[in-house]
Structure formats: structure tokens, C-alpha cells
Structure 1
Amino acid sequence: MNWEKIDRLAKEWVMEAGKSIRSSFDKTLNIQTKSNPKDLVTDMDKEIEQFFIRKIRGIFPEHRILGEEGFGDEFENLHGIVWLIDPIDGTMNFIHQQRNFAISVGVYENGIGKIGLVYDVAHDELYHAFRGKGAFMNEKQLPTLKETTVKESIIGLNATWVMENRRIDHNLLIPLVREALGTRSYGTATLEMVYVATGRMDAYLSMRLSPWDYAAGAVIVEELGGKVTNLRGETLNYLSMDSLLVAKPGLHQTILKDYLKDGKW
């Protein structure tokens, strides 16, 4: 398999898709809801996913595609090469802010992440990793992540996810929030993952995400020595929704052991 070709084309397609999204900033979007009034989708989300599908099918017809908007394939396993695509992660931010959203593309082989691309369209920042060859922001190589403590850490945590999940006692997270240097919430899982990769944050937690939300970011973070699991410390499930804990080495284990051990995550 020519992974260099896949990597090159994936980057070209992501940049082309980003250009299309930027051109939509001064246009009126067709906005709809999906599972609930806060779960938004636009015509641009759908167009970008269909753009990727056309490109992938045209050159790699044997590859399979798992996309947020449902235009890809049906899945029972991750055999072969699978593209996991979120055409616009952070659709609410895209609609209301025209920033803090990203295109996310992960390419996996038999369940193992090979390529991860997260493109911050508004800031023209492409975070990318090719397994075994380092991780980059545009052309700048990112350094390996260093260990840190909770007291020195900025942690990404969306309070809405905690409060709306009635199975979770949100009081369990209060000690973590109190002891951390600070908390942040950007509303875009893919960007929050790459913010851990760049050191802008030190950890990120989420209660419920889909595979296309974390597939690309996981490749980037793991390439730099970070840890990516669910909140139970288990390997992520790339076929269904799961919780998420992304953190620098050492910090990941500390959060699991000292702050999350009693939760029904």
C-alpha cells in the first residue's frame, strides 16, 4: 500500500475542502437539526463529506468510509483501510463564530491509525501525523510531549456534557477542576485534542463522542507520546460512541487513578 500517496492526497483534499468552507462565510447556510436542537448540521457539512467520498472512491475504490453525516459505508468491523471523516467538527461554532471548528480525517488500517489530519480552517493550521514519522502543525514539527502534574495543567472539559448526563455524578470531577491550573472549553473535540498535542492544553475529557470526533486526533497525540483512551482507561471503540480522555504521559494515569476511578463512565 502506497501510504505516502494516501497522505499526500488526503492533505490536498483537506486543504481544498477548507477553501470551500471559507468561501461559504459570506453566504446564507441551510441549517437543520439532527438528534436534538443543539445538534446542528448545515448544507456545507453534507457537501464537504460528499466531496471527500467522491475523491476517495475515485482513486481508492477498495477503501471504506465512515463519516458523520452518514454518506459513507455501513460498518461491522474495521478490516482493511477505513477513512473516518468529520467534515466540520464544531458545527455550532462554524455557524455562530466562523472559527473554532475543524475538518478531521483519520485513515486507519485494520483498526490502527496510520494518518491523522485536523485542519483549523479559520486559522489555516493543518495538524497532521503519519504514524512513525512525527507530528506537525503546517510545516513545523511538534516536540514530544513532556510529563506534567494536575496542578500545572490546563484541562479541557465541557461542563454541559457532565451536567446533561444523569448517569454521571459530576461532583466526582470537582477535585480535578479545583486542583488544575485552569479549565477550558472550545466546543470542538478535534481541536481540543490537537491543543493537547501542541501543549496549549495538557488534557481533555469528554463524556460522549463518536469515532470521527477522535480518530484523527488520536493519531496525532499518540505520535507525540500522549495517551488516548476512554474515561475507564480502555482502548477506544472506533465503531460506536465512547467517552474520551486525552492527556500528556503521566498525567493521563494520574487523572485515571486519582480522579476518575469511582465514576460510571
Structure 2
Amino acid sequence: MTNWVEIDRLAKLWVKEAGSRIKASMQEGLSIETKSNPNDLVTNIDKETERFFIEKIQSTFSDHHILGEEGQGEEVTSLDGIVWIIDPIDGTMNFVHQKRNFAISIGIFENGVGKIGLIYDVIHDELYHAIKGEGAYMNDILLPPLKDVEIEKAIVGINPTWAIESPYFDAKPFARLVRDVRGTRTIGSAALELAYIASGRSDAYVTLRLAPWDYAAGCVLLDEVGAVYSNIHGERLTFLDKNSIVAGNRSICEKILHDYIKGSGNKK
């Protein structure tokens, strides 16, 4: 039988050690490259941090699989067995420009089911963590179940890009959502956006494009506080593919999906 408590203990140790290494590296010069576009950044620290986790996992759990953002793990094509889904630095642009508002994100899945979620806000030393069925925590604080919030009183995480007229997607429903809610925020880290929902700092998060390492850990946290999440068509997320995301408490997600997005013509 899998000892999830021991896996969780080791994962937390590695996350904290990686966080210390990242903070130490911030005193040095960064090697910065671009990936899919000029705003899609990767640094030597992203790559070094991912290698750090790969070495730890492979030397301790040789039968576990690793799906990492920087592609240094395996070519994972299924979630059979135990799979670690890792983003070594979620919010690399923030890491480069702001030196804050980034996180280490690790979701550990067994046969497609999220078992452990870890999101570590390195600069603020806030570790959001959960083992399936045992609640979600921020450091040592148990996070309570989410409460319903009216759309007019909600704080919603959404990138302004989605509310701007575009030839590639229908921005009107997102623009209307931005007008109707109490306020919007853009952190620049999907992992932190989801952690903030779990901790009650935000009420919902909407985005059109995320990769599994952006949302895997956060979804484990959300499960433990009674939140819901889906793509913008209300369909279940896959943890191997890119997805759109609507996440938050059940009532606000249902309203966003049915009153704003439904019939908009937007794709996954």
C-alpha cells in the first residue's frame, strides 16, 4: 500500500530545500530564454530546480513517473501509476521582473486521481498543502470549506487579455464578467491563483489556457475545501493536456459557466 504520509513528508522537505536554493540564486545573474513566445520565459533556475526534483524523485521512488514543465522528466502519455506533475517556478515572468509572486507547484497523482498537492510561495514562505481526504492547509492552518459568494461581491482572478476584443476568441462574456464582479486580480501565477481560492483570498479564477503543471496541485487543494473546477464548457479537466479553467466555489462557477460563457463560442 502506498505510504502517502511519507511521500508528503519528503515532498515538503524537497520543496522547502528547492525554495531555499531559489532564494539563494536570486543574488546571482539569471540566464533567461524564451519558449513559445517572447513573453513565455524560462531561466536557468527553472531548469535547475526541475532537475533537483527529478533527481530526488528518481533516487527515492524509482517506479514513479515525472511530468515537468521544462521537459526534463519523461514523455508521460498516461496517468497510470504514480505521476508527479511539477512546475519548478510557476510565474517565471514575476520571478524575473518582480522577485516575488511565483511558486513551486507539485501535484502527485495515482491512476489519474490527485493525492497530494503542494504550492509553495517561496518569498512569503507560505506552503499550501493537502493530502486527499485530510483537508487543505496553509502552513499549519487548516483551510475551512468555501462559502458561496454572490457574483457582485466576488473577487475573480482573470487576465485582462481575455476581456479584450480578439479575432481568436469571443471576449464579450469575459468583459461582462469583469464589469459585474466586485473586483478582478491578476497574480501572474496560476498555482497561486488556485491556492488563493482555497484559502479564501479569492473567489474564482478564469483562464483560457493552462498546462497540467499549472493547475494539477491547485486542483488537489480545491478538492479539499469543496471547490469545483472544469474547463469553460463545464467538462472535467484532463491532467495531461492544456485546458481552459473555471474554478471557485460551486455557486459562482455555475453562474460564470451558465450566465456568462455558455454559448459564447469559445474553445477549450
TM-score (norm 1): 0.98
Moved more, 66-75 or 160-169: 160-169
Rounded Cα–Cα distance in structure 1 between residues aligned with 2:164 and 2:67: 29
Distance 2:238 2:45 in 1: 28
Aligned twin of 1:180:
181
Change (3 A) 1:250 1:8: same
Shift of 1:93: 0.2
Q: How far, CA to CA, are the matches of 2:201 and 2:167 in structure 1? A: 30
Q: Which runs of 5+ in 1 are unaligned?
A: none
Q: Which residues in structure 2 correspond to 1:137-156 (within 5 Å)?
A: 137-156=138-157
Q: Aligned residue for 1:167? A: 168
- 1:66 maps to which residue? 67
Extract unaligned runs of 5+ from structure 2: none
**Is the CA contact 2:165–2:171 (under 8 Å) kept in the aligned structure 1?**
no
Q: Is the CA contact 1:162–1:168 (under 8 Å) kept in the aligned structure 2?
A: no
Mapping of 1:106-145 within 5 angstroms? 106-145=107-146
- Find the aligned partners of 1:209 and 1:184 in 2 and give their Cα distance: 17
Partner in structure 1 of residue 104 of structure 2: 103
Aligned-CA RMSD value: 1.1
Q: Is the 8 A contact 2:120 2:126 kept in 1?
A: yes
Is the counterpart of residue 75 in structure 1 residue 86 in structure 2? no
SS state at 2:168 partner: coil
Q: Is the 2:173–2:261 contact (alpha carbons within 8 Å) kept by the matching residues of 1?
A: yes
Residue 252 of structure 1, CA deviation: 1.0
Does the Cα contact within 8 Å between 2:133 and 2:224 map onto a contact in 1?
yes
Q: Write the mapping of 1:1-265 to structure 2, written as runs, cut at 5 A.
A: 1-161=2-162, 163=164, 166-263=167-264, 264-265=266-267
Distance in 2 of aligned mates of 1:159 and 1:109: 35
| In structure 2, C-alpha distance between the alignment counterparts of 1:42 and 1:219, rounded to whole Å | 27
AA partner of residue 119 (structure 1): Y
Deviation at 1:249, TM superposition (A): 2.0
